[in-house]
Amino acid sequence: MTTQLLNDRYQVIRTLGAGGFGETFLAEDTYMPSKRRCVVKQLRPIQNNPQIYQLVQERFQREAAILEDLGGSTDQIPVLYAYFTSGGQFYLVQEWIEGDTLTAKLQKQGLFSESAITELLVNLLPVLEYVHSKHIVHRDIKPDNIIVRDRDRKSVLIDFGAVRESMGTVVNSQGNPTSSIVIGTPGYMPSEQAAGRPIYSSDLYSLGVTAIYLLTGKQPQQLETDPQTAEIMWRQYASHVNPMIAGIIDKAIAYHPRDRYPSARAMLDALQSIANPIPPTQPHYIQQPSTPTPVVPTPPTIAVNSPANVTAHNRNNLLIGGLIAGGLIGASVIISQVLIKSSQPVADQNITPSIALPTVTPSVTTPLIIPSSVPSPTVPSQVIETPQPIIQSPISTDNSTQSDNYFWLSTRRVTNTDLDGKDGFTLDIMRNSIFARHGRRFDTPGLQDYFNNQPWYNPKYSPKEFPAKLLSKLEQKNVDDIAKYQNTYNLRYFKK
């Protein structure tokens, strides 16, 4: 077998697997200078019938074209290099993924932790979302068909069932081509797929059962089902799992499709809402005590010098800093903005606060509007509390007018002093300004809109095409340090 050449080109190294549909080989491409390794799948029709051979060939070509499209659009599906027919059999040549299947990883390292399962699901669900957007159901998701790639630890989805289904093409009694087989693995496929009617949530079911196997070490057939609901009973074998994560898995493996997540995106959103919870925005109040007392600051506060002059509903963490009153008639009241690091994560830009704060247009002739319950400005620099919502001090809403473009992040190391007191929005802008300066675009609309307003911004690269080598070592270090600071203090504003 080691001397065999397939299609006079692919040198077989060893057999990777064999089954009812054919064999799979690891091979070298002798036409390439690198002798790159690849996977060659030999597929044979289940019926040796010349009358349906043409039908099988047409279906095979169609499925090969789909695999070419899928593998060319995401690096978590193997690239299709070639396909050909020889001796009445069909061959696919695909990218060789160096890594371990989930089955092999379980055997090597033992049961997966809850965090490892969450990471796996968050990594794979976007791939399924993309596959389903192409109106394709994988139909054979299981631990053996997911490889964790060595070079980047990404999960790669292999072995789509549609190609094998084309090998099962037959002609029914009415003379119409159909498939005589059901694609899927017992225990990992839901009832509707076993009946030959797979839907998108069938893949979510299979992914959920895969997660259960990795958490418990038990194959689906080893788990009992509820005699009344037919739901899989697995939680007693994974008591260490957060009930909220377990609830998401339970919803994915619900017996009836209507009880499952309607899409991979819906399941991903549910996971991310647990991993990065965003609590409801709480309004700040100024209360009037019987005897005004100065507020003792908790975290250090600094004066705001931020490019994040956004609309009032995005900035619910600004307090009126101090009131300095002059003794002369007609003296101006100076309002300083004091930024206080919130103990709650900053809400996403799409979440409306429970109280929308009015924006006061700045004007030299317009006096500042202050609630009647706030004491006279003769009180020296104090933050006082009253049951009234605050009135936001005048700020600009034009991001392009900001003078700090953070170019200094390319010339010196960032320090905690640079970061202390800044909110999640400002820190996100600081970190991403390093990429923006080199022409990167952003998937997040809020970030893209902000940098579009900067006169120095010249977008050149999509996020996937951006060459990481454009960043100097200093810039990359600053990106990492800012991100670490944000993670430590839970100061993220944008989701991406």
Binding-site residues for ATP sit at 41
* Pairing, β 5-6 against β 155-157: unpaired
Kindly list the catalytic residues.
Answer: 140
DSSP string, 118-133: HHHHHHHHHHHHHHHH
Q: What is the CA radius of gyration of the chain?
A: 30
**Which two tokens mark 26?**
């690891």
Backbone φ and ψ of 387, nearest 5°: -70, 10
- Cα separation, 480 vs 414, whole angstroms: 10
Strands 224-225, 37-43: pairing kind: unpaired
CA distance 210 to 146: 10
Phi, psi angles (nearest 5°) of residue 272: -70, -30
- Residue pair 186/221 in contact by the 8 Å Cβ criterion: yes
Annotated binding-site residue numbers: 41
Sheet strands (E) in 384-441: 385-386, 388-389
DSSP 8-state assignment for residue 374: S
DSSP codes, 340-351: ---SSPPPPTTS
Residue 43 has which token pair? 């597929």
Q: How far apart are CA 467 and CA 322, in angstroms?
A: 46
Q: CA 101, CA 78: separation in Å to the nearest integer?
A: 14
